[in-house]
Amino acid sequence: MAAHDHLVVLSPALTMGAATLTLDGTSATLQHSCDLVEDTVWGDTFKQRLVSLQDYQASFEALIDYTDNELDEDLDSLMGTTFAFAFRPTSSATATTNPEYQFTGGISSLQKAFQLGQIAKVSGAVMLTSGTLVRDVTP
Amino acid sequence: MKDSIRQEIEGKRREFMELSRRIDGLPIGPVRMVLKQKRNAITGQINLLRQMLIKEELKSDNPQHVPKIHLPTKMYTGTLK
């Protein structure tokens, strides 16, 4: 039986354009979806569906870093552009056991939360804008 | 076809490095922000060109690995961030 390769999330690598969240990030969610359009007709006993368009989006959360040329400024400069998104589960080199998910996308929302007595956080969502998702396993 | 995509990627990569060099020397402000936006957009364009190259390689008889394009932003430290 093959060995299982499960993962505790400790040090993923996430870059968006020239911005890196690797040292400030706390959470990331990648969502790959596919429309299934119904084509059920008279005579069917089960609902029938056709595979249609796929979509890819990602969301992230990080602690704000206001250092010059760091996260906050880098994220602000992503707004209004399409850029390269890349995420891999650990920051070690890309491999079959550590695939990198890459796509070209844009930020659809960016929220910054400042709550009294709490650490300042930034979160946002990125959607694929052109091309496809690449699941890269080559170093 | 493959060669022209490779050339285009190399051109974009040079443009990215040139922008990084300019950004490094600029004070905080709107000019630097615009250049950063331009630089971010180049990463997206390179991503798409690489996807095109991968597709072209897959079509050929002997597909070659398409290496990742490294785009360092912190030139002065010499480390990739």
Q: Which of B40, B50, B67 sits opposite A78 (nearest CB)?
A: B40
- Chain A residues within an 8 Å CB radius of B57: none
Judged by a CB distance cut-off of 8 A, whether residue A91 touches chain B is: no
Look up the CATH number of the domain holding residue A119: 2.40.30
Average of per-residue pLDDT across A44-68: 96
Helices (H), A1-139: 71-76
pLDDT at res. B80: 42
pLDDT-based confidence at residue B64 (cuts at 50, 70, 90): confident
> Is residue A1 situated within a structural domain?
no
Measured between CB atoms, which of B33, B41, B68 is closest to A82?
B41
* ipTM reported for the complex, 2 dp: 0.78
Contact yes or no for B44 and A81 at CB 8 A: yes
Residues of A in contact with B73 (CB under 8 A): 18
Residues contacting A16, CB < 8 A, separation 6+: A75, A78, A83, A84, A85, A86, A107, A126, B40
Instruction: Tell if the CB–CB gap between B44 and A132 is shorter than 8 Å.
Output: no
In this structure, is residue A67 part of a structural domain? yes
Is A54 within a domain? yes
Is A7 a member of any domain? no
The answer to the question of residue A138 being in a domain is: no
Q: How many domains are there within chain A? A: 1
Q: Please tell me the distance from the alpha carbon of residue B12 to that of residue B6, in angstroms, as a whole number.
A: 10
pLDDT digits (tens, 9 = 90+) for B7-56: 999 999 999 999 988 888 888 889 999 999 999 999 999 999 999 999 99
Query: Does residue A97 lie in a domain region?
Result: yes
| In a domain? residue A29 | yes
| DSSP 3-state of A31 | strand
Please give the residue range of the domain that contains residue A94. Answer: 13-40+47-132
Q: Which residue has the tokens 């180049």?
A: B42
